[in-house]
Structure 1
Amino acid sequence: MRRLVQRIPMGVAIRTVLILPLFIMASLASAAIAPVSFNLANGLRVIVQEDHRAPVVLTQVWYRVGSSDEPPGLTGLSHVLEHMMFKGTAKVPVGEFSRLVAYAGGDDNAYTNDNFTVYFQQHLADRLPLALELEADRMMGLTLDAEEFARELKVVMEERRLRTDDNPQALAMERFQALSLLSSPERNPTIGWMRDLERLTVEDARAWYQRWYAPANATLIVVGDVTVAQVRELVERYFAPLPLVSIPRRALIRELDSPGERSLSLTLPGQVPSLYIGFNLPSLASARDPKDAYALQLLSGVLDGGISARLERDVVRTNQAAAIRSGYDVLARGDTQLTITAVPAAGQSLTALREVILKSVYALRDEEVSADELAKVMANVRAQAVYGRDELDDRAQQLGRLDALGLPLTWDDELPARLKAITPKTIREVARQYLQPERLATLFLYTPNSPAPTQPVGVTP
């Protein structure tokens, strides 16, 4: 999917916010109008965030269905249906949706992930009626022509070949997901396994569409130069006539608490060997105590929250890795991971790099982080919150995720206070509880010029 806006890199945001000119801060503050939400009788949820700095509007329709909802044998179906949503209704023939958007000077696209399928348009503000009419029309009026489905399925299969099968890094990540997530449905790739794609039919897509695509399973988000009253009137006009349809229950995504240490070695064509490490962790949605999730969020920042973070200091600056990054999604739908990916420096083996990384990670179990480290992570969180409000796309994305998890739409404002309650002692406690070998998965990606070792990989306690 192409990006509508350019994100500000994490490292840049924290350094810039400290010297942000007052007029920019005032601009951001003036845009911080609280979002308003309401529901239609047919179950559609609507969230409106007014932002009058520019005469533009962004719409997003979030359907609460993604690849984690797909049963065995039907992987990739959500993504294929996303493609078909641009392929015609009784009112808007094939090819006309994006043509109408472009003719009005707008842009449109969509994406599918594990848990959601999201469709968005960006327009001048006075084109909002067009955007909403088009979205309402395809919400329950898709044609799903068999010939169009066959053609689009070939497009998706070619997309898989180009982005995954012919990309060693992407293929390794796909295998890593399957290795590290044993019981979670998120272990399957969003684009689907090729053998499943080869067997999908238009009847599969039609049943999936009828099962999940309805107002009661959707959230419409409108951000930009609009008013709540204006949006409400248009939503009532275009979406209220759609019927109320019952939607299946979605279960919370859970992973085994202690699945056991796992490792996998791959040798694929390519020039760059890589290391993939993951610890199975709860998110805010699945943690027994929300403080655990907030502490894990800060722990992740201590490891990789800028140029002074531990992985940069202990691994990159010591010439053990040429590049490293990590991530933890506190707002995942259920259980998630702390992931670390790294490329070894010249002459460094993957097994040695793994030991260096795990030594840095496990140090969090033995000693409390310093007050200075924690202060830097907190500053980073605050900076990201500021810039997350500056772009319409970023703000809409965050509103969609918060709504899907049932969190307050003001969660970003409340986050600093919640994180402030987390102490260095709390971070050490969650490190001791969750950063354990029985939660650890490792994938070693070798190239033909760096053969896999013949000896088993040792376990760092």
Structure 2
Amino acid sequence: MSFKRRGLYAAFAGVFLLAVFVRPLPAAQPLAETFTLNNGMQVVVIPDHRAPVVTHMVWYRVGSADEPQGKAGIAHFLEHLMFKGTTKYPPGAFNRIIRQNGGEDNAFTSKDYTAYFQRIAKERLGLVMDLEADRMQNLVLKDENVLPELKVVEEERRERIDNDPSSLLSEQIDAMLYLAHPYRKPVIGWMPEVNRLTRDDAIAFYKAHYTPANAILVVAGDVTPDEVRKLAEEHYGKLANTFDVTARMRTEEPEPIAPRRVTLTDARAASPVVQRAYLSVSYATAAKGEAEALDVLAELLGGGATSRLYRKLVVEKRLASYAGAWYSGDGLNSGIFGVYGSPVPGGAVEPVEAEIDAILEDIKANGITEDELARTKATLIADTVYARDNQGTLARAFGSALTTGMTVADVLAWPDRIQAVTLEDVKAAAAKTFDDRRSVTGVLLPAAGAPAGGGEPTDPTPSNSTQQ
């Protein structure tokens, strides 16, 4: 049940990066238009006429970082419960109607947002709007369907985190990286708090966050802005807001003053891994060009077989089976930059970590080359071209950006901003970010007697969201 952020420690499956933003090509640009309904609900339309289908998404500006104290996991739990029906569409009807009409649907929760989506034939767009608009205000929850679903969530936590050593380490790293900010909590919640969630908790959270002015509608596909506007006004425009939407208030993270370290030994671990997370800026909090420089830096350091980390650790020195880097810049309040490596069979973690440190220090001191910068920019911008072929990816790029402090214009301009990154920008971003005081280093070790090294490399990316 998840999207995952690029990089090492992953709890769930799926991918979303700011690097999937649309490239503004003169002839092929998928124009995006935005407008706001009278009740404050923002609408984004991304025409794509290659096939007679649409992707319809409703995004709420609420995630696990907005949960009340002691209710960790309630945002994700409510996501599950949103499928439990209304008076108009009783339990089971939502999914059944979507399937009967040849569509597919799902939902996901992150630290900053919750989203519900359907992909269906364009002539059924009004139908899915009716379904979503209905459950935005008319959800009916009863203990007979709430309590069994809580068991489902508990089992999901056991399966995806408690039984996965890399996910457990991810959870510990997040908890140490953030001392005060609610990003320290896992999206799925801590099990002791999840165990105590109730129907009343879910209803209270629903009433506090689900209303048109706190939502964004994104429609990508074989439609025009005028067609979407007419349907949106018909189905969503008639909904009255049930509360006044205010700014999200979250505990501010204090400036880090010391590096932190955690070691997890687990018999289930297939191989040792060392990973480091640095608290960084996000696109929403960065100065001009700073987040873009971190995207370039992550790709250059660990984006593939030609990256610095992979070439040095895997190809040249043969210290690691795999190595890489990632940058998660889509947080409303902060970002994370990560690096990682796993020693070759029989190898130790310490030489891998030492070589990673040496590579980071070299970039801080000497920066990167013009050739590296040009190649990395070309790779990132090319990725946006490929992303344009996926209707759902386009919708998710806009929805994620708009729920975390960015605009439609920011999405469309992203490739141009990547192109504007300079050598000095990358060196400055590295110097600021690769500060040990801003870091947490995590080491995963097999238990004594377990085989060290080897096995298929995993992609332990940080857990950003859970998805049904």
TM-score, with structure 1 as normaliser: 0.89
Identify which range, 71-80 or 249-258, moves more after superposition.
Answer: 249-258
Give yes or no for contact 2:85–2:139 (8 Å, CA) kept in 1: yes
Mapped partners of 1:146, 1:283: distance in 2 = 40
Task: Note closer, same or farther for the CA distance 1:416–1:88 as it changes in structure 2 (3 Å cut).
Answer: closer
After TM superposition, list the pairs within 5 Å mapping 1:290-439 onto structure 2: 290-317=288-315, 318-439=317-438
Identical-residue share of aligned pairs (%): 36
In the alignment, is the contact (CA less than 8 A) between 1:265 and 1:446 conserved in 2?
A: yes
Q: Does 1:169 align with 2:166?
A: yes
AA in 2 matched with 1:163: R
In the alignment, is the contact (CA less than 8 A) between 1:32 and 1:51 conserved in 2? no
Shift in CA distance, 40/103, structure 1 to aligned 2, threshold 3 Å: same
Aligned partner of 1:18 in structure 2 is none
2:185 is matched with 188
Distance 1:398 1:9 in 2: 8
Deviations 1:48-76 (A, max 9, x none): 11110101100010011111111331000
Equivalent-residue separation in structure 1 for 2:322 and 2:253 (angstroms): 29
Write the letter of the residue equivalent to 2:332.
Answer: R
Q: Secondary structure at the match of 2:139?
A: coil
Instruction: Judge conservation of contact 2:263–2:444 (CA < 8 Å) in 1.
Output: yes
- The whole-number CA distance in structure 2 between the counterparts of 1:330 and 1:283 is 4
Equivalence for 1:44: 41
Residue of structure 2 aligned with 1:81, choices 78, 94, 98 = 78
1:55 equivalent to 2:52? Answer: yes
For the 8 Å contact 1:36–1:47, the answer to whether it is kept is yes
Offset at residue 45 of structure 1 (A): 0.8
| Alpha-carbon spacing, 1:430–1:252, altered in 2? closer, same or farther (3 Å) | farther
Question: What's the CA shift for 1:7?
Answer: 8.6
Give every structure 1 segment of 4 or more consecutive aligned residues whose post-TM-superposition deviation is greater than 6 Å: 6-10
Relative to structure 1, the CA distance from residue 414 to residue 188 in structure 2 (aligned partners, 3 Å threshold; closer, same or farther) is: same
Counterpart residue type for residue 358 of structure 1: D
> Which segment is superposed worse, 71-80 or 245-254?
245-254
Displacement of 1:253: 7.4
Mean Cα deviation higher: 256-265 or 162-171: 256-265
Cα RMSD of the aligned pairs, angstroms, is 2.3
C-alpha displacement of 1:252? 6.6
Higher alpha-carbon deviation: 80-89 or 139-148? 139-148
- Rate the CA distance shift 1:391–1:252 in 2: closer, same or farther, 3 A: farther
After superposition, the Cα gap between the structure-2 partners of 1:8 and 1:336, relative to the gap in structure 1 and judged at 3 Å, is closer
Question: Paired residue for 2:194?
Answer: 197
| 1:303-332 CA-partner distances (Å, limit 9, x unpaired) | 123321111111121222112232112332
DSSP 3-state at the match of 1:390 = coil
Unaligned runs of 5+ in 1: 14-24, 452-461
Residue 45 of structure 1 contacts residue 218 of structure 1 at CA under 8 Å; is this kept in 2? yes
Which residue number in structure 2 is paired with residue 98 of structure 1? 95
Whether 1:72 aligns to 2:53 is: no
Secondary structure of the corresponding residue to residue 88 of structure 1: coil
* Equivalent residues in 2 for 1:157-306, closer than 5 Å: 157-244=154-241, 245-251=243-249, 254-270=252-268, 271-287=270-286, 289-306=287-304
Supply the AA of the counterpart residue of 2:302.
D
Matched residue count = 433
CA–CA distance in 2 between the matches of 1:226 and 1:206?
35
Indicate conservation of the 8 Å contact 2:284/2:330, yes or no.
yes
Which structure 2 segments of 5+ residues have no match? 4-12, 451-468
Shift of 1:450: 6.8
Distance 1:138 1:46, change over 3 A: same
Quick one: distance in 2 between partners of 1:305 and 1:361?
15
How big is the shift at 1:180? 1.7
Range 214-223 or range 384-393, more displaced: 384-393
Q: Give distance in 2, aligned partners of 1:7 and 1:227.
A: 29
1:193 CA drift (Å):
0.4
* Local SS of the residue matching 1:324: strand
TM-score, structure 2 normalization = 0.88
Secondary structure (helix, strand or coil) at the match of 1:61 reads strand
Aligned partner of residue 38 in structure 2, secondary structure: coil
Counterpart contact for 1:253–1:333, Cα < 8 Å: no
Q: Distance in 1 between matches of 2:415 and 2:85?
A: 45
Q: Give me the whole-angstrom Cα distance separating, in 1, the residues matched to 2:156 and 2:74.
A: 14
